Chain A
């Protein structure tokens, strides 16, 4: 596809349930990022993949959150035992690999709106 695709666009789940959010990055992009955004706030960094490995997962709030990118393309953000406080828009972004001092533009998807009831 032309851009970053996230599915589903909306997800409503009950407290305590498990959810998976999917991100399809732009083809060939090696870097992939997950963010979450609460109302009125800027996006909050969660995790960054370079290829298949998590280069930085310092933003994951606790061990209920986990993300994978097994083939270096599609990524899945997994949330166990969801809580009402997990309700937010989850954004995914991808970028190519900058070499040397080149900074590479990040392309964002439309996000998945997660509501935990």
Chain B
């Protein structure tokens, strides 16, 4: 699987937007970009995924660079509940296993 690079940690103030970056310079044409997050003492949960176009859902937005070598997960208004480790994962089509890196630990300050 192609690898991703994320900052180890980030900090945000409550109710402000957060932009979590991910680099994936060796991405292939069939790789989807997935984001999962893991709240303390929980299993990971799906956030969003995309292929080429930007994506929006109720949790977040995903902005994908035109060359697909990087992407950004956007939380529009961070809340204390958004404090978690965020994982950016490349996954080929189908049900191939997700391969997790270390992710970005997001802290949200009240």
Query: Which residues in A have some Cβ–Cβ distance to B below 8 Å?
Result: 4, 30-31, 33, 35, 40-45, 48, 50, 56, 59, 91, 93, 95, 97-98, 100-111
Q: Once the chains bind, are A104 and B43 in contact (CB under 8 Å)?
A: no
Chain B binding surface SS class: loop
> Known contacts being A105-B46, A110-B42, is A31 close to B95, with CB within 8 Å?
yes
Chain B 73-110 interface mask (CB, 8 Å, partner A; 1/0)? 00000000000010100010111111111110000000
Q: Which of A93, A103, A105 contacts B94 (CB 8 A)?
A: A103
Q: Tell me how many residue pairs across A and B have CB atoms closer than 8 Å.
A: 66
Residues of B within 8 A of A30 (CB): 95
Tell me the count of chain B residues lying within 8 A, CB to CB, of chain A: 24
Chain A: CB-nearest residue to B46? A105
Any A CB within 8 A of the CB of B11: no
**A42 with B43: CB separation less than 8 A:** no
* Residue pair A42, B95 in contact (C-beta under 8 Å): no
Closest 10 CB pairs of A and B: A108-B43, A42-B100, A31-B95, A105-B46, A43-B100, A48-B97, A45-B97, A101-B93, A103-B32, A108-B44
**Nearest CB in chain A to that of B44: its residue:** A108
Residues of the B chain whose Cβ atoms lie less than 8 Å from the Cβ of A41: 102
Q: What residues on B are CB-neighbors of A105 within 8 Å? A: 46, 49
A108 contacts which of B45, B91, B101, B102 (Cβ < 8 Å)? B45
**Which residue of B46, B94, B102, B103 is within 8 Å of A106 (Cβ)?**
B46
A98 in complex: contacting residue of B43, B93, B103, CB < 8 Å: B93
Residues of B within 8 A of A56 (CB): 96-97
Partner of A103, one of B42, B87, B91: B91
A106 to B47, CA, bound (A): 11
B49-A109 in contact (CB<8A) = no
Are A109 and B43 closer than 8 Å at their CB atoms?
yes
Chain B residues within 8 Å of A42, by CB: 85, 87, 100-103
Return the CB mask of B21-46 against A: 1 if under 8 Å, else 0: 00000000000101010000111111
